[in-house]
Structure 1
Amino acid sequence: MIKKAILPVAGLGTRFLPASKAIPKEMVTVVDRPAIEYVVKEAVAAGIEQIILVTHASKASIENYFDRNFELETTLENKKKFDLLKEITEILPKHISVISVRQPQPLGLGHAVLCAKNVIGNEAFAVLLPDVLVKNADAANDLAKMIHRFEQSQSAQIMVEAVPEHLVDQYGIVDVKNTPAEGESMVMQGIVEKPTVGTAPSNLSVVGRYVLPAKIMQLLESTPKGAGNEIQLTDAIAALQKLEPVEAYRMQGQTFDCGSKIGYLKAVLHYGIEHPKLGDEFKQLIQELKL
């Protein structure tokens, strides 16, 4: 059973400047809670029990958010604000642990994953990129289905989604013999990084969710620096493909790239209209703005 998930949060968030100059981009709120909480709860809903933050000295607020704040809790209790107290003490279930390891240098996603090697040990694990929110309509989320497929096939799973053909040059695109149906996996031949329009092997782009075997860590240790002079996770996955099948899982949900400003605004709209307390008023506001 896969119980550990790595969340690389050490990046400087340059796409979200100037806000990310002082606030970790992962802590920018989507409606009333930071983006990182949605990603962590996605992992928890898929059965993950240990969240491993690969972090940086400037990101202490992320660790603090998932920790207890005795002074604040005492203040809320004394003021009898029990609803708020419940919200901040029940962000995560009690059996979930959140730990952090440092990425000493910004050497790429592959290097960030490798920084968690000692915590992962010999277990398979998930990787969730915190820039991307995945919103599912049903109770069984896409990550849970990826994990279930991994446990059946023992093949690494890479989440993908279909994008318009004219936008394939903006993404990493997987090469598959046949396009899988939503919610299903297909063995992939490789990943083409930002292919020119008209040359892409498919229109299935890599989303930012992975389920990987422990052996990927050994492959990362021997992976040379690639694009951007960084250790790339995709290079290690390519090496893994030479040893065993790797599958592309086609997601059923919807993604929001909260690393980009327009993607963040889209997320606020979608999550805002479904908010249990604010949704109706927010919909009314949207209608007013249409006038």
Structure 2
Amino acid sequence: MPVTKPLKKAVLPVAGLGTRFLPATKALAKEMLPVVDRPLIQYAIDEARAAGIEQFCLITGRGKTAIVEHFDVAYELEKTLEERGKNDILAELRDLAIEPGAMMTVRQQVPMGLGHAIWCARAFVGDDPFAILLPDDLMQCDPPCMTQLAEAYRETGGNVVAIEEVPMERVNRYGVLDVAEDKGRLVSVKGLVEKPPADKAPSNLTIIGRYVLMPEVIGHLARMERGAGGEVQLTDGMAKLIGNQPFHGLRYTGRRFDCGDKIGFLEAQIAFALSRPDMAPAVREFLKRYS
């Protein structure tokens, strides 16, 4: 097993405008949209914490202050809950709080792509390996998806990305793996292509919004080379690591819900409600009315 530095840092890009959910996101950050009773950003932070991550960097934009406030201590609210004897809710709220100094925010002033957003976190990353979690990708996994990635990172060293197979007609929406060796759970990668047309895609194995990357990717992103869509693409920066560092894709166990899409968001509501013993019977009952 390779010697690896502990994975303790995570970057969460949350600067997007959420235009596909307007008008709901006109004054509300899309990452604060709730699935059942928790906002998307909370699911991502909880997933990272379960993997042993202790430090968080939010890449924000205008109108995103509510995300940071969500993880702050709400003294007046906590006092009111305590006075009313609502101790279960109070304990849940207190569990949300981030340790002092463990969360920072960096502003991405101009929307220049995911690669640019990650480059904005360069001071936070420093010389350490780091995770990336895209809150739009809501994961329902046991163990949590980032825990699976962290375990794979300790096993292989280097870079590890979560992957899934998609129909060839949809590969043009994703970063796609060029496979060197497919070992089932782990795939050794020899190249990456961002949003290729189906007839030029090297495979149908695509990267989803969970990554463990080495800090050297920041130097490649710093060149600000424009890729697909005229943006600085994270996939292009990652591709330059291949051959110099281990690079693997992980077929994770679980389900992903694309909560940047209205249908995916609605499906996530149902799936997560059905996973709750306190809600599942009532949800199954009302769903019968729509079958």
**If the length of structure 2 is used for normalisation, what is the TM-score?**
0.91
**CA–CA separation in structure 2 for the residues paired with 1:98 and 1:265:** 30
Report the counterpart of residue 121 of structure 1 in structure 2. 126
* RMSD over equivalenced CA pairs, Å: 1.9
Cα displacement (A) at 1:246: 1.6
1:197-236 to 2 correspondence within 5 Å?
197-236=198-237
Report the counterpart of residue 252 of structure 2 in structure 1. 251
**CA–CA separation in structure 2 for the residues paired with 1:3 and 1:190:** 27
The Cα offsets for residues 152-193 of structure 1, whole Å up to 9 and x where unpaired, read as: 322211111112344333333211134442xx2222122233
Whether contact under 8 Å (2:11, 2:132) holds in the other structure is yes
Find 2:91's aligned residue among 68, 86, 89.
86
Find 2:171's aligned residue among 154, 157, 168.
168
Whether contact under 8 Å (1:49, 1:95) holds in the other structure is no
Cα displacement (A) at 1:288: 3.0
Cα displacement (A) at 1:96: 9.1
Find 2:82's aligned residue among 77, 80, 86.
77
Whether contact under 8 Å (1:180, 1:250) holds in the other structure is no
Cα displacement (A) at 1:92: 5.1
Q: Output the amino acid matched with 1:41.
A: D
The Cα offsets for residues 192-246 of structure 1, whole Å up to 9 and x where unpaired, read as: 3333335432221111111011111122112422233322111111111142332
**CA–CA separation in structure 1 for the residues paired with 2:44 and 2:107:** 19
The Cα offsets for residues 56-101 of structure 1, whole Å up to 9 and x where unpaired, read as: 1310010011111111111111222222212211225758932212
Deviates more, 1:83-92 or 1:231-240: 83-92
**CA–CA separation in structure 2 for the residues paired with 1:175 and 1:88:** 44
**CA–CA separation in structure 1 for the residues paired with 2:148 and 2:209:** 15
1:149 aligns with 2:185: no
Q: Percent same amino acid at aligned positions?
A: 42
Q: Is there any run of 5+ residues in structure 2 with no aligned partner, and where?
A: 1-5
Residues 247 and 223 (structure 1), Cα distance of their counterparts in 2 relative to 1, 3 Å cut = farther
Whether contact under 8 Å (1:159, 1:210) holds in the other structure is yes
**CA–CA separation in structure 2 for the residues paired with 1:101 and 1:198:** 39
1:100 aligns with 2:105: yes
**CA–CA separation in structure 1 for the residues paired with 2:40 and 2:9:** 20
Whether contact under 8 Å (1:223, 1:235) holds in the other structure is no
- Count of aligned positions: 286
After TM superposition, where is structure 1 displaced by more than 6 Å over at least 4 residues in a row?
A: none
Q: Is there any run of 5+ residues in structure 1 with no aligned partner, and where?
A: none
SS at match of 1:264: helix
Whether contact under 8 Å (2:130, 2:212) holds in the other structure is yes
Report the counterpart of residue 64 of structure 2 in structure 1. 59
Residues 94 and 283 (structure 1), Cα distance of their counterparts in 2 relative to 1, 3 Å cut = farther
